[in-house]
Structure formats: structure tokens, C-alpha cells
Structure 1
Amino acid sequence: MSSSRFAKTPQPPYYAVIFTSQRTATENDAYGNMAEQMEALAQQQPGFLGAESTRGADGLGITVAYWETEAHIAAWKANADHLAAQRAGAERWYEHYEVRVAKVERAYGKR
């Protein structure tokens, strides 16, 4: 599974929140539903620029969400629905995870 979602290509500088996770062996529809809800909710948040996500057959996944400012990231982290999803992930769906925040100074590629 792999996806990339941008309304338009952002111009640096901006911020990337990199979420790397290892799913538990238990697969269920609740995880997929929650992930879809969080994606839709993130898209409605001020400062959200887009996201890219992939997950391997072994359950290792990486999602990178792009934001205009650190304040926008903090507001998303504090969102009540997102907090509930974070708790559920830690308790039920992830063996382990890491979150990293980086400032993107340069970006280039081929489209």
C-alpha cells in the first residue's frame, strides 16, 4: 500500500512529521476506519499541506505529513479526535512507533 496526497506541491520551508510504526499482528477493520477518519480530519486542519504513506506486508509503515508551521503541528497533536486515535494506536495497533519532526529547507523531484 502506498499513497501520496497533496492539494498542490508545497514550497519550502515547511515541516514534515514522520511517523514510523510497526503494526501488531492483529488486523481489523477498526484500524482502517480510524486511519481513514484521521486522514480526512487532518485534511481539514489549518496548515495541513499533504501526506505520503506506505506500509509493507510485514506491517512496517511510514507516513509523512507536511505542515506549514510548528504551531499547526502542535494544534493537530492536541486535536481531541487525534488524541483518541493516538491512544488507540498505542494500546491496540502498534508494537512500537517513532515520531520525528523536521524542517524541510529544500525539495526537488520529477513529476
Structure 2
Amino acid sequence: MFIIVFESTTPASKAAVGGQYYTQMQALLRSQPGFISETPFASPIHPDQAVLIAKWETEAGVHVWRTQHEHLRIQYKARRSVFAGYRLRVGPELASLLGGTGR
């Protein structure tokens, strides 16, 4: 399993537009081969900060998602007009790296 962790900072003034992009991205994401699930988290202390964890069956599925045309279009718009900051991390499930089963 591969995990994508997306951390973002979205100013309150851009939250509505960010929500629209997120809705568009969700529809695309759920239709991607190899996609398992996503879980968004919002910070109760810093409401402009959020983390989203997406799970994928394989690294190849992540690569297809990363190069999907509509995903790239929405990503470009959001980076330019919504996020004050973001960070993306991609990798295999931590438990598998430590020799566990991840269950």
C-alpha cells in the first residue's frame, strides 16, 4: 500500500474556492484505478491548516494519479489561487517498512 500525505494551509478568505476544488478532486480521485480511500483532517487549533491522507494499492496507481490531466489542472489552479502553503509526502505504508503487516 502507498500513502499520500497532503498538508495544506488555506486562508479563511480562500476556503470556499478551496472547497470547490476539493469537491472536484474527490470525484476524480474516487474513479482512479488503485485508489483505496482518503481521510481529511482539520486542525482544531489552526483552522486554516489541514492534512489529507490518501491510500493507494500500488505505487503505479499513485503515478497514474499524479499525471492525470484533470488532476494536474485543478492542482495548478489551487496552488496559485488557494493555498498559502502545502507539502506533499508519498511513500509505502510505514508498518511495511518496519517489517509489520500494517493491520
TM bucket by the smaller chain?
A: 0.7 to 0.9
2:102 aligns with 107
Q: What's 2:32 paired with? A: 45
For residues 49 and 25 of structure 1, the distance between their equivalents in structure 2, rounded to whole angstroms, comes to 30
Quote the Cα distance in structure 1 between the aligned partners of 2:2 and 2:102: 12
Bigger helix share: 2
Give me the CA root mean square deviation: 1.5
Aligned counterpart, 1:34: 21
Q: Does 1:22 align with 2:17?
A: no
AA of the residue aligned to 1:46: P
Taking the aligned partners of 1:34 and 1:53, their CA distance within structure 2 comes to 14
* Secondary structure of residue in 2 paired with 1:94: coil
Q: Where is the strand percentage greater, Structure 1 or Structure 2?
A: 1
With normalisation by structure 2, the TM-score equals 0.83
Gaps of 5+ in 2: none
Q: Secondary structure at the match of 2:13?
A: coil
1:65 matches 2:60 = no
Q: Is the 8 A contact 2:17 2:82 kept in 1?
A: no
Residues matched between the structures, number: 95
Deviant stretches of 4+, over 3 Å: none
Of all paired residues, the percent bearing the same amino acid is 26
| Structure 1, unaligned runs of 5 or more | 1-13
CA–CA distance in 1 between the matches of 2:28 and 2:73? Answer: 13
Measure the CA separation in 2 of the matches of 1:84 and 1:55: 24
Counterpart of 1:80 in structure 2 is 69
TM-score by length of structure 1 reads: 0.77
Task: Say whether the 8 Å CA contact 1:34–1:85 is kept in structure 2.
Answer: yes
Structure 2 counterpart of 1:107, one-letter code: G
